[in-house]
Each structure stands twice: as C-alpha cells, then as structure tokens.
Amino acid sequence: MAPSGTLTSFRLPPLPTIREIIKLFRLQAVKQLSQNFLLDLRLTGGWLISAPEMSPPHPWGRGPGDLARTLWARVQDKIVRKAGNLTNAYVYEVGPGPGGITRSILNAGVAELLVVEKDSRFIPGLQMLSDAAPGKLRIVHGDVLTFKIEKAFPESLKRQWEDDPPNVHIIGNLPFSVSTPLIIKWLENMSHRDGPFAYGRTQMTLTFQKEVAERLTASTGSKQRSRLSIMAQYLCSVQQVLTIPGRAFVPKPENQVFASLKLFPFPEPRPRLTRQTSLHLHASFTQRKARSSPPPLTLGISGLLPIMLSVLAVIVLHAYTLRSSIIVDLRSKH
C-alpha cells in the first residue's frame, strides 16, 4: 500500500492486450451473469489508431505493428478520466473482469486500487496485473453485494460529510443482473453514511446499460421515473458523462448502448431513507405499472394503508429532488 501523503508516478510495463488475456485464459462472457467485456481501446486506454487501415502494434514490441507505433498515441481511459483526478487516490473497482478499466486506473497514479471480483476465471489475469504493479493492486475474490468496504482503506481518509469529499472513488462497469440491487444498496449506504460512505461523500463513476442509466437520470414526469431516480436524485447529483456504443463490448450486447454516470452525494443533510421507504417506493411504481391491480377502493383499509404510505414516500422524495434540482440550477446561473 502506498503512503497516503506520497505522490508517485507509475505506468504499467508492456502487457498482453485484453483480447490476448481473454484468449490466453479462455475467457468467455457468461450471458446469465450479463457479462460484457469492454475492448474499445479508445475507452479502456490503449493505442489510438490514426490510420484506419493500419493494425495495432504487436504487444511485445515486435512484428509489423512496430512501423505503425509512431502513428499511435497512448490515451487515458475515458471512463477513468471522467472520474476526475485520481492521483494518489484510493479506488474501489467493482467487477473488473479481464482488467481493461483496471489498467487505466493503475496508470492514473492511484495510491491503491482495490478490486472485488466474484468470477474466479478472472483472478489469474488480475494477478498478472498485480505482479506488474507491486503494492498498487489488491484483489478480493468475493461478492460486491456482501463485501465490507468501510474497513478496506486507511482511517485517515475519512472526512466529515459537509467537508470536501475524501480521496476515495468507486469505479465500475456494472452487469445488468447486479446493477439495480447494488445501486439500491449503495444509495441506502449513502443515506446512512456507512459502507463506501463511511469515508465521507465518496464519488462514484459507474457504467450501466442504457435502461438502468435512464431510470437513474429520469426527470419528474418522465416515463422512466422510478424508485431508482427518486432515491438517487434525493441523495446526490446524477450526471451522465459518457455514452458508449454496444460495439465497444464483446460479446455485443442486445442493449446497444451503455452510459457512464457520475454520482456525487449532496453535502446538505437529508432525512435518512429507511429500507421500508425503499420498499414503499418500489411498491408504488409496481402498482402504477400493474394494469391488472384491483381499484384501490375495493382493497379495504388494510389494503389501502401500504398504498397510502407508498404515495406519501413518493410525494416527499419528489419534493426534495425537485428542490435540489432548482438549487443546482440557480447555482449554475450564478
């Protein structure tokens, strides 16, 4: 682990490409886990071609690619760059897979990168990165939904909620199957200031499939408005910072577009969200979409109470998110 007060300059040595890692370890995306590998070098950091007919340089510095090397430029991962300045930061990457984004985070000069990967097939490739970056990369073979991040980084990083954010970031390309339960969990953590937010207002830069991203960013009155958008916008600013075409991934997903969002907790105090509030919100939107539900008047008092609580939760959180958007708009004009 690098000392928190020491600025270091670090670059990974030459390594096999992500495509070669996939071939070397015979990795295949599992459809049931909604896995997609991000291979577009302009997004994950790599060699940016300046002539479309030329092939990338050979990873070991030999072969026909050598002649083209001067026409290529190493570029920072766009997703990582959107996270802001990561120099000497402590980064928590979720679901690194074969390590495409992981490489760019390491090259951004972080103090330490902690990755949590559930799929054991990816561990050998990540270990190769760890060997190439001594003391920089820590690998946890586990489930992000149960991992305790609040004790993973030094206590000295912790900040008061109203202060500047800690030098802690969360970055990840979230599979569709885990994205909703994970973001709900993190939003509840944010409300209670525990989990990743035990350090303070930890910033998140996360990549989602379009459907999830639209629900997180949906404005009041939008058809995409949901429990996710209300909870997220009640607690933090939500900004789409990058759109990623499906062709950047292997296998090419059925959902053609992905989006990277930046979520930054508000410094102003908010009444805490309870698990029950989240459930009421979920029930409210489920009832709205369920065309076959019986009319409320036929449910009786016991049946009406959950609906009334759900509606009240929606009204209160709508009011807060609307107030927050007005404040942000006024600040931007001044």
- Give the C-alpha distances (Å, rounded to integers) separating 99 from 18, 118, 227, 277: 7, 13, 32, 37
pLDDT at residue 174, as a whole number: 87
pLDDT tens track for 145-198: 999 999 999 999 999 999 999 999 999 988 778 899 999 999 999 999 999 999
255 among the known binding-site residues? no
Asked whether residue 63 carries a pLDDT value surpassing 60, the answer given is no
Nearest to 120 by CA among 92, 142, 149, 145: 142
95 among the known binding-site residues? yes
Asked whether residue 69 carries a pLDDT value surpassing 60, the answer given is no
pLDDT at residue 41, as a whole number: 46
107 among the known binding-site residues? no
pLDDT at residue 331, as a whole number: 52
174 among the known binding-site residues? no
Q: State which amino acid sits at residue 40.
A: D
Alpha carbons 187 and 83: distance in angstroms, whole number: 18
- Tokens coding 197: 């937010």
Nearest to 121 by CA among 222, 22, 48: 22
- Tokens coding 211: 């459907």
pLDDT tens track for 139-152: 999 999 999 999 99
Alpha carbons 175 and 190: distance in angstroms, whole number: 21
